[in-house]
Amino acid sequence: MDFLLLFKSLIMGIVEGLTEFLPISSTGHLILTGHLLDFLDKEKRDVYEIFIQLGAILAVAWEYRSRLIQAAAGARQPGPGRQLLLNLAIAAIPALALGKLFGSQIKAVLFNPICVAISFIVGGLIILWAEKRQHSISAQTMDDITPGMALKVGLAQCLALIPGTSRSGSTIIGGLFFGLSRQAATEFSFLLGIPVLGTASLYSLYKHLPVMTAQDIPVFGVGLVASFVFALIAVRALLRFIASHTFVVFAWYRIAFGFVVLLTAYTGWVNWTV
């Protein structure tokens, strides 16, 4: 058994778990981390990243299991449960449709460290701008979100098809623009990850399943478990954080990280083009 490979998988799983639901782009961090670690070949790493994403999705499903069970139980009659499921479906459709139509082209052209770095910086500037605006709250909780708001958040989520933009960042900040409170925008973003990431991950795994071998099971398993554990930690920590803070710290982190990548590329300290 290759313990170094398992250790690299552990690091990748931790990165996925910590970044999936924070507004800092898990895809961007995985591209950069995988590049630095020289982790697996390109084709297998793509499958791995899709697979461990399921760990983060399961973490949110576990954290909100009571809410999801109640929503499913009340889906047959009008009320908050049916409305939540309807809103999630409405918000999920735009990104799933665009991902299906243009996902391959986007991955071929934009999935590289330099593009990620630029997206980090631009996304950080947008968060700073958004936080300076006067927020007008129309939806204090998820129960207050209308189908129209859900559709707007879903359209904002489409920006996350650009690596480094952040699905969580685009949905949370988009939610703030469209009248959701920090709490409502963040929790809706968490739950929206289940249909969007779940559907995309399962579909991609189905397409790339032949790439996997029996020897990959320990490596993929370590990443999945690490992703689940650290995503659960990150979700709970973010909910506590937003109770008394803005998202400005994440904006500055994105900007600083993006400039570090560009600086190391320009100086040749890291060969990001390999």
Q: pLDDT digit string (tens) for 75-95?
A: 888 888 999 999 999 999 999
pLDDT greater than 70 at residue 10:
yes
Q: Which of 231, 196, 194, 219 is nearest to 48 (CA)?
A: 219
Please report which confidence band the pLDDT of residue 21 belongs to, taking 50, 70 and 90 as the band edges: very high
- pLDDT band at 53; cut points 50, 70, 90: very high
Alpha carbon distance 117, 134 (integer Å) = 29
Q: Is 82 exposed, middle or buried (0-12, 13-18, 19+ CB in 10 A)?
A: middle
Residue 274: what pLDDT?
Answer: 47
Nearest to 161 by CA among 108, 202, 230: 108
Q: Say which residue, 9 or 136, is predicted with more confidence.
A: 9
Between the alpha carbon of residue 84 and those of residues 146, 191, 200, the distances in Å are 9, 10, 20
> Token pair for residue 220?
């993929």
C-alpha 40/C-alpha 20 separation (Å) is 21
Does the pTM exceed 0.85? yes
Tell me, rounded to whole angstroms, the distance of Cα 82 from its chain centroid.
Answer: 25
pLDDT, tens only, 226-248: 999 999 999 999 999 998 899 99
Cβ of 85: how many Cβ atoms within 10 Å?
17
Residue 175 has pLDDT above 90, yes or no: yes
Model confidence at 209: pLDDT above 80: no
Q: What one-letter code names the amino acid at 251?
A: A
Using alpha carbons only, give the angle 108, 114, 118 rounded to the nearest 5 degrees.
110
pLDDT at 1: 65
